[in-house]
Amino acid sequence: MNKTRELGRRLELPRALWAALVLLAPPRAFASESIYAGETVKTRAEYEGRVTAAEHPFTFLVDPSTPSAGVFEAGYAIGLGSGVSADRPIPVVLQNQGVSNAFSLGYGVTGWLEPVVNLDVTVNTTTQQTTLNGFAGAKFQLTHPDSPWRAAVLAGGLREGWSNAWGAWMRASGSFSTGPFLAEANAYVEHVFAPGRDAVDYMGMLGVSYRVVPFLRVGAEYVGQDLEGLVDPEAEGGARMGLGPDLALDIDHGRFQVVVAALFGLNAISPTAVVRAGLVGSF
């Protein structure tokens, strides 16, 4: 009888150790092997209770995260400018007053690949003229979704409504997170295939955000547009820059995300203020 009890104790000890390891080990230890294998994507965001890996902590910046595999993202954003058209973060066309409506759609083909389509409908409130701008492309997440350092590259083509010209664009997005703090940067370039246009248009964006509670972030964003104007003042009339606060809200564990931000001009040729608000839903 004593030998039987001793054998039972020896068999139970490994089971107890294994149970303890399962409970105490960090989530990434069990997630890393399935991220790129076409299985269910397990990321830091999902372990925090989110329904999708994609995050939208900023209004003007694009986060390097992508949706979980099989998840659709549909978004709408409205932009208002101080006496200007708001179809870009800091609009080039200063004489037009209007409202920009942006509709977006993306799909998580895998945990790192997301095709994207965007349509901007800008209405000039003075002339009641409507302009349609659109772009399509894809986002490629280059780093492990659970890493504190993340990076993505986006690229595609665009159609400019007011000039009826085609173009190409590329964006690089990177972020670093530690605890509730997040820092992010974007670099954007585009070329429009039309006579008299700049060889390349440049845009740079920076953002910082702090998660106050699990469903709420507060932070700030900086946008520098037409940065080629810093070297050549005749390019687009010069560079335009803005800085302002933002707020990001998760609803239903991230199934819906609301973002709101305001930019205030930092130089004379920038609009006094530009406001943008957006809603993204995951399905």
Chain segment 99-135, per-residue pLDDT in tens: 888 999 999 999 899 999 999 888 776 777 788 889 9
What residues form DSSP beta bridges with 232?
none
The answer to whether residue 42 is domain-embedded is no
pLDDT, position 25: 39
Question: Of 173, 170, 205, 172, nearest to 191 (Cα)?
Answer: 170
The answer to whether residue 43 is domain-embedded is no
Please report the beta strands in the chain, taking only residues with DSSP state E, as ranges in sequence order.
72-81, 98-107, 113-124, 130-141, 149-160, 165-178, 181-192, 201-213, 216-225, 240-251, 256-265, 273-282
- Cα 57 to chain centroid distance, Å, stands at 7
Range of the structural domain that residue 224 is part of:
51-282
Residues 6+ apart with CB under 8 A from 77: 59, 100, 101, 102, 104, 276, 277, 278, 279
The answer to whether residue 268 is domain-embedded is yes
266: helix, coil or strand?
coil
Residue 126 has what DSSP assignment?
Answer: T
Grade residue 226 by pLDDT with cuts at 50, 70 and 90.
confident
pLDDT, position 92: 57
pTM > 0.95: yes or no: no
The answer to whether residue 3 is domain-embedded is no
- Alpha-carbon gap, residue 217 to 208, rounded angstroms: 10
The answer to whether residue 22 is domain-embedded is no
| Number of domains into which the chain is organized | 1
> Rounded to a whole number, what is the largest CA-CA distance in the chain?
96
The answer to whether residue 31 is domain-embedded is no
pLDDT (tens digit, 9 = 90+) per residue, 258-269? 999 999 989 888
CATH for 268: 2.40.160.40
Q: Can you read off the two tokens belonging to residue 43?
A: 């990321």
The answer to whether residue 9 is domain-embedded is no
pLDDT, position 252: 92
The answer to whether residue 256 is domain-embedded is yes
Residues 6+ apart with CB under 8 A from 252: 51
pLDDT greater than 90 at residue 46: no
Grade residue 44 by pLDDT with cuts at 50, 70 and 90.
low
Grade residue 47 by pLDDT with cuts at 50, 70 and 90.
very low
Q: Which one is predicted more confidently, 134 or 198?
A: 134
